[in-house]
Amino acid sequence: MRRLPFPALLLALALPALALPCFSQTTPFHHAPASAAALTNPISTPSPAIGRSLFAKNCAACHGDQGQGTGNIPSLAKGAAQSAAPGEIYWYLTHGDLANGMPAWNTLSPRSRWQLVSFVKALPTAQPAAPPTPAATTAAIDTPPPTPPFTDFRYEHPGTSRKITPADLPAPFATVSVGNGPHLVPRPQGAWPQAPAGFKVDLYTTGLDNPRLLRRAPNGDLFVAESDPGRIRVLCGLTPDGKPQIISVYATGLKRPFGVAFYPAGPNPEWLYIGDTDAVLRFPYHNGDLTASAQPQRIADLPANLNHWTRDIQFSLDGKTMFVGIGSGSNVDDPDTHPAEHERADILAFSPDGSNRRIYASGIRNPVGLAVNPITGELWCSVNERDALGDNLVPDYITHVEPGGFYGWPWWYIGGHQDPRHPGTHPELQAKLINPDVLLQPHNASLEMTFYDGSQFPAEYQGDIFASEHGSWNRATRTGYEVIRVPLHQTGHATGDYQDFLTGFVLPNGEVWGRPVGVTTGSDGSLYVTDDASGTIWHITYTGK
């Protein structure tokens, strides 16, 4: 029985340079001096039209047409950009932060910079800009072909195998670091995700608001985190026409939920854990619950208030350890000199009740997706690596995580290379650097991952990894915007190769209509994928036809 309720600012280069939504300003805005807050905007009557024109030319490619944020770049319409003083934003525009990918915009006149400040401050109440005319955006991308093993969206095809090794990496700044955030458009008629031969893709449901991580409950129900509205939904069953039998709101009022985990393992969990952006919460849970039966317990506070807000949760196979992924607060800020990076770019470990807090592994810039290998018991993660070193640095990756392991950030990266923004720093850590198992395309924005535990797909898929690649912003020609498969060859271990699995979310002209985020196996062995650009969950089945 189911239980029912009882009652780019501003860039052509940008990075996640501004802090995340939902939090008050607790430190100076990007280390602006105290004097900056006292600066007064000399433009008494700013022009919205001029501000929008400046924003569209200099900033929208990374921060989105409406300042909504793209990729790892946070929104300017809420959060730190809105709580900062106008003078602090002006100071940041003037001085930039090259280590984090934000150039100094002192090439713009002071009046233009103040117009941009006024425009950003007005974003919460600004009228949306008119979409570009189709005639301006229909030409196909014609940039030169990529040099293998690197690729871009034009060459992503289901079933294509790829492998990147440390020896393939170029020198830093071999290409200019660019801001190329996705221009999102509604899914055109006839556009549909493409899967390998023998697989069928159906639209399970749509109309969701920012659907992100997706996990299957032991009874087969699907739980999805709608992160921006702070909501968890549950979707149950499958109608004859392939739609959910029930869609229910399980919980609301969360800050920015992402991770979902059930505890203890087995057919009858007692708790539903949620990785909110600043805490681990847990709700009492019984199979079939459609809404929360009580308020959540807050069992662990987590670092918040900066960049990389996702918090995934997993439990060890023996149920004794809870893992939580915490992304860095910046691109490459040195934790030695930036206290805000404490316990960030780490995977934290706890007892299931939130006690026994410790760092399990470090130097992992943004471990968005966590999963425990059901064969080996190893923890794995899907990682967004650093930006602003060029098109083909640094590769994102998927890897098993060793206890006490160090994975490089921010001083070192794959292959024993030192980040040029930290020359000579921590030479003793070079020998401790662990190279990841599977290197992905740089700037792919690899998000949720899962081990395939079904039996519907062909036997060679058993135990393989599926991972959602949300898509690049820091690359001249887009890459990602797909779901990939990492073959583990029925051994539980990777050999470095991966395959394109679900593609087709980018139009030939480079416009984007879909961005995969969450991926999980259904109880029938099919695969479900969330797409936060179109508010959709896609359903992939194997038919053999």
Q: What is the pLDDT of residues 319-350, one digit of tens each?
A: 999 999 999 999 999 999 999 999 999 999 99
Of 394, 480, 473, 396, nearest in space to 153 by CA: 480
- CB count within 10 Å of CB 353 equals 11
Which DSSP helix (H) or strand (E) runs through 371? Answer: strand 367-372
Which residues have C-beta within 8 Å of that of residue 134, sequence separation ≥ 6? Answer: none
SS3 521: strand
- pLDDT of 72: 57
- pLDDT of 71: 52
Q: Where do we find the tokens 């939904």?
A: 233
> Which strands sit side by side in the sheet containing 313-315, from one edge to the other?
313-315, 322-326, 346-350, 358-362
List of the chain residues with pLDDT < 50: 1-26, 131-136
pTM to 2 decimal places: 0.84
- pLDDT of 61: 62
- pLDDT of 157: 98
DSSP assignment string, 125-148: GPPPPPPPPGGGS-SPP-PPPPPT
Q: How many CA atoms lie within 13 Å of 157's alpha carbon, on the beta-carbon side?
A: 4
- CB count within 10 Å of CB 246 equals 12
Note the CATH number of domain 29-125: 1.10.760.10
DSSP assignment string, 282-333: EEE--TT-SS-SSPPEEEEE---SSS-----EEE-TTS--EEEEE--SSSS-
Cis, bond preceding 395 (omega within 30 deg of 0): no
Q: What is the pLDDT of residues 398-450, one digit of tens each?
A: 999 999 999 999 999 999 999 999 999 999 999 999 999 999 999 999 999 99
Q: How far apart are the first and last CA of the chain?
A: 37
Q: What is the pLDDT of residues 522-532, one digit of tens each?
A: 999 999 999 99
Residue pair 282/294 in contact by the 8 Å Cβ criterion: no
Which residues have C-beta within 8 Å of that of residue 144, sequence separation ≥ 6? Answer: none
Of 316, 319, 312, nearest in space to 280 by CA: 312
Q: How many CA atoms lie within 13 Å of 400's alpha carbon, on the beta-carbon side?
A: 15
Residue range(s) of every CATH 1.10.760.10 domain in the chain: 29-125
- pLDDT of 79: 75
Note the CATH number of domain 153-542: 2.120.10.30
Residue range(s) of every CATH 2.120.10.30 domain in the chain: 153-542
